[in-house]
Amino acid sequence: MPLSSRSPTAISDAGRHARDRGDPITANPYPPESDEHGTWERGYRMPDAQAQETMPKTPGEASQLDASS
């Protein structure tokens, strides 16, 4: 899949996963001036709890989250 065809959510998730793996922020695969670069970097820097609050929930995810509360 070409990098530019990924959704903003997938790009942000990739940044967060890179952080979780211990990759440096310089591992961002998108061109520095692109929207994707900023989205990936926000995912890298955003705390996990904040990411969950800002992510749109699908009906299946919402019910799973409610059940675990």
For the chain, state the CA radius of gyration: 13
HEC states along the chain? CCHHHCCHHHHHHHHHHHHHHCCCHHHCCCCCCCHHHHHHHHHHHCCHHHHHHHCCCCHHHHHHHHHHC
* pLDDT for the residue numbered 18: 96
What is the model's pTM?
0.64
Q: What is the pLDDT of residues 10-38, one digit of tens each?
A: 999 999 999 999 999 999 999 999 999 99
